[in-house]
């Protein structure tokens, strides 16, 4: 029995000039649109006493801020915009991979030969996760430089061998961020695709449920790691702010 394993490389749907728009990019636009639409709707006509969408938005921000304070202490507010955006976008991008049709709807568009999957989980594309990791990389370097220019460069020079290893560490962090998210989501996508060919239709549902949890956890991990790296970069030269110990 021939099992067809989907290609890692996403299919191209159309081109905008020299740039190829793949099914993952297309789906990421949808996830982006949902997040932005929610943000715009929640901040429209803001009142001091929130209600409706603004209330939900404030709830989300409060929960994320609480989490961020546990990791980064007093600097949490400064980093929250980037970290929270990463978390919410990655969460939506991962969960949109579970929506019926995403990853399973094959269509042959008029200008193509052969069928292609039209929508695919955005983070199952290494390009997208790497893009976010690159943004994190530059953010961390910039925060490090702004905190203490001298200490930032000295870190790579002294102690003699360990300093040089620091360079490798700096590059390995965004690499692992990208690969972790990519590997998890790709694995889920391929697993569901294979299950659909083996034991439809009930077993794939179990794995889709697993995708729900994995999507949430990986979004959380990406965001928390970003926050941890930023916090680390901004603490060189002063003592590390210790996380609050609350007795909830």
Partner 1 sequence: MDFTPLAVALAIGLAAIGPGIGVGLVGSKAMEAMGRNPEASGTVFLPMIIGMAFAEAIAIYGLVIAFVLVGRLH
Q: Rule CB under 8 A: which residues touch partner 1?
A: 5, 7-8, 67, 70, 176, 179-180, 182-184, 186-187, 190, 217-218, 220-221, 224, 247-248
Find the shortest distance in angstroms from Cβ 90 to partner 1.
13
Closest among 205, 188, 244, 231 to 76, alpha carbons compared: 231
Distance CA 92, CA 32 (A): 8
Token reading at 146: 């702004």
Find the shortest distance in angstroms from Cβ 139 to partner 1.
20
Handedness of CA 144, 147, 149, 151 (dihedral sign): negative
Find the shortest distance in angstroms from Cβ 195 to partner 1.
16
Find the shortest distance in angstroms from Cβ 225 to partner 1.
8
Phi, psi of 47 (to 5 degrees): -115, 160
Distance CA 53, CA 10 (A): 35
Nearer to partner 1, 28 or 184 (CB): 184
Pairing of strands 19-22, 106-107: unpaired
Nearer to partner 1, 56 or 194 (CB): 194
Nearer to partner 1, 8 or 20 (CB): 8
**DSSP state letter for 7:** P
Find the shortest distance in angstroms from Cβ 34 to partner 1.
25
Cis previous bond, 159, omega within 30: yes
Nearer to partner 1, 119 or 222 (CB): 222
Distance CA 173, CA 244 (A): 26
**DSSP state letter for 122:** G
Nearer to partner 1, 157 or 217 (CB): 217
SS3 1: coil
Find the shortest distance in angstroms from Cβ 40 to partner 1.
31
Nearer to partner 1, 42 or 215 (CB): 215
Nearer to partner 1, 80 or 225 (CB): 225
Distance CA 148, CA 72 (A): 18
Rg (CA), the chain: 21
Distance CA 147, CA 163 (A): 19
Find the shortest distance in angstroms from Cβ 37 to partner 1.
30
């Amino acid at each position: 029995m021939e099992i067809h394993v989907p290609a890692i490389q996403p299919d191209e749907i159309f081109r905008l000039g020299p740039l190829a728009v793949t099914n993952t990019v297309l789906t990421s636009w949808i996830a982006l649109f949902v997040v932005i639409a929610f943000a715009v709707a929640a901040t429209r006509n803001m009142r001091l006493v929130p209600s409706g969408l603004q209330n939900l938005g404030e709830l989300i921000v409060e929960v994320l801020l609480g989490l961020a304070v546990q990791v980064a202490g007093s600097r949490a507010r400064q980093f929250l915009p980037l970290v929270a955006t990463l978390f919410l976008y990655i969460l939506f991008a991962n969960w949109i991979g579970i929506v019926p049709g995403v990853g399973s709807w094959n269509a042959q568009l008029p200008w193509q030969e052969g069928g292609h999957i039209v929508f695919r989980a955005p983070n199952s594309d290494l390009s997208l996760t790497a893009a976010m990791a690159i943004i994190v990389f530059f953010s961390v370097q910039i925060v490090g430089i702004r905190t203490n220019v001298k200490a930032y460069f000295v870190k790579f020079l002294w102690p003699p061998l360990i300093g040089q290893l620091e360079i490798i560490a700096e590059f390995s962090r965004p690499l692992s961020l990208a690969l972790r998210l990519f590997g998890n989501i790709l694995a889920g996508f391929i697993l569901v695709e294979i299950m659909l060919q083996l034991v439809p239709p009930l077993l794939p549902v179990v794995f889709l449920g697993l995708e729900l949890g994995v999507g949430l956890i990986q979004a959380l991990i990406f965001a928390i790691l970003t926050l941890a790296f930023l916090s680390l970069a901004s603490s060189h030269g002063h003592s590390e702010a210790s996380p609050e110990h609350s007795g909830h």
